[in-house]
Amino acid sequence: MNRRSMILGASAMAAVATNARPVCALGSRALTYSEAEAFVWRPLDASGGVSELVRAATLGANSHNTQPWRFMVSAQEITIGADFSRRCAAVDPDDHHLFASLGCAVENMVEAAVLLGFKVEARYEHTSQDRVTISIDRSPPSRSELADAITKRQNTRAEYDGRDVSAADLNTIGTAGTLDGVECLLVTERRRMDAILDYVVQGNTAQMRDQAFMAELIAWIRFDDNMAVESLDGLSARSSGNPSLPAWIARRLLPFVMTEKGENDKYAKHIRSSAGIAVFAAASDDRAGWIAAGRAYQRFALQATVLGIRHAFLNQPVEVPSLRPQFASYMGIGDRRPDLVVRFGRGPTLPRSLRRPIQAVIDQP
Ligand SMILES: Cc1cc2nc3c(=O)[nH]c(=O)nc-3n(C[C@H](O)[C@H](O)[C@H](O)COP(=O)(O)O)c2cc1C
């Protein structure tokens, strides 16, 4: 069965998984990008039960949109574990980002629970699998701004409008990002933001000179809409603010349009148009700490979304190992690891990234 031959009902939009790959379809035809986007990011449905908890989790931020998670679901609990077949060895050799991505998924599930009528408790299990178990009980559903924001949050890789964020809003997002021993440091002073830009530029330059990094990144770029809707993962051109182009043309153009100078200039514009930069540092530099950092970022991002504040990752200073200690020292966090770097401010939205359906990520217990 391929995606074109799937018939899923005359007018029903659906995302399911065949044995070969995930499928997003409207009746017998594949969805357009914007149809898939609307379907993936449809509001959470309180009548959807435990499945909606898993769907909420899959809407979490995740490195390169690899969606590196597997779920096991029973009536009493959901476990989230790593899908190491989706690890990114070049950018993330110790799986830091992979476990931070699991943390993002866990936090979405915890926040969604209120709206979906569940009482949940997340517990990290340090086993050979290093997974998180979420125990679930029924409880009356209630409204939650953070839960509503799950289907609105996005990494907005656009230029912002340069406006400041009020002290009250800074306090609200900073508090939301302080969780489970993770510190959320907010930098809004221009001089310090320029210093962080220097780290981003150094990191980006090193990464763009690293063939393995570039090959891995390009493998996860979905240059045209068909590629994106077919795989339902990866970095779609549209969600990075670029046009959809046939992959064979885009690959040839890439060396001319994605240059070191061009990318570094873009990051300078991105940081200078932002109101501030948030740096997350967990209490421990291990998988439990990385999951906690992901949870803290996700909560920060949901709260920012509630307030109409956009955000986007700029992780180069924490991804290039030789820069990380210098960056930690600049941020004054002693021997803790700086986990994640995120700029924020007011600005436009961009097309959203896509997700595979939950059927593609659930294993039978
Ligand atoms: C641990 C982690 C690291 C990330 N690093 C970067 C990054 O350095 N640059 C970037 O543009 N996006 C980065 N992202 C954002 C992902 O690419 C993004 O979450 C994914 O494409 C899905 O898009 P969404 O967050 O808009 O749903 C990162 C996300 C996570 C969770």
Written as one string, the DSSP assignment of 147-183 is HHHTTT--B--S----PPPPHHHHHHHHHHT-BTTBE
Domain that residue 19 falls in: 1-31
pLDDT for the residue 12: 62
Among 212, 228, 135, 176, CA closest to 342:
176
Which regions in the chain score pLDDT beneath 70?
1-12, 19-20
pLDDT for the residue 324: 98
User: 13 and 37 in contact (C-beta within 8 Å)?
Assistant: no
Ligand 1 near 61 CB (within 6 A)? yes
pLDDT for the residue 24: 74
| Cβ-proximal residues to 330 (8 Å cutoff; 6+ apart), any chain | 195, 196, 199
Q: What angle do CA 163, 236, 34 make, to 5 degrees?
A: 85
pLDDT for the residue 305: 98
Residue 281 lies in a domain: no
Residue 290 lies in a domain: no
Residue 16 lies in a domain: yes
Number of domains present in the structure of the chain = 1
Residue 13 lies in a domain: yes
CA-nearest residue, atom 14 of ligand 1: 63
Q: Quote the ligand 1 centre to 239 CA distance (angstroms).
A: 11
Rounded to whole angstroms, the Cα distance separating 334 from 281 reads 10
CA-nearest residue, atom 25 of ligand 1: 61
pLDDT digits (tens, 9 = 90+) for 20-73: 677 777 777 889 999 999 999 999 999 999 999 999 999 999 999 999 999 999
pLDDT for the residue 9: 35
Pocket test for ligand 1, best of 280, 313, 337 (most atoms within 8 A of CB): 313
Q: Which atom of ligand 1 approaches the CA of 64 most closely?
A: 17
Residue 8 lies in a domain: yes
pLDDT for the residue 20: 65
pLDDT for the residue 365: 73
Rounded to whole angstroms, the Cα distance separating 93 from 104 reads 19
pLDDT for the residue 15: 77
Q: Quote the ligand 1 centre to 291 CA distance (angstroms).
A: 15
| Cβ-proximal residues to 215 (8 Å cutoff; 6+ apart), any chain | 90
Q: Quote the ligand 1 centre to 61 CA distance (angstroms).
A: 6
Residue 9 lies in a domain: yes
Residue 241 lies in a domain: no
CA-nearest residue, atom 2 of ligand 1: 63
Among 268, 275, 280, CA closest to 318:
280
pLDDT digits (tens, 9 = 90+) for 190-211: 999 999 999 999 999 999 999 9
pLDDT for the residue 281: 98
Stated pTM of the model: 0.95
Residue 25 lies in a domain: yes
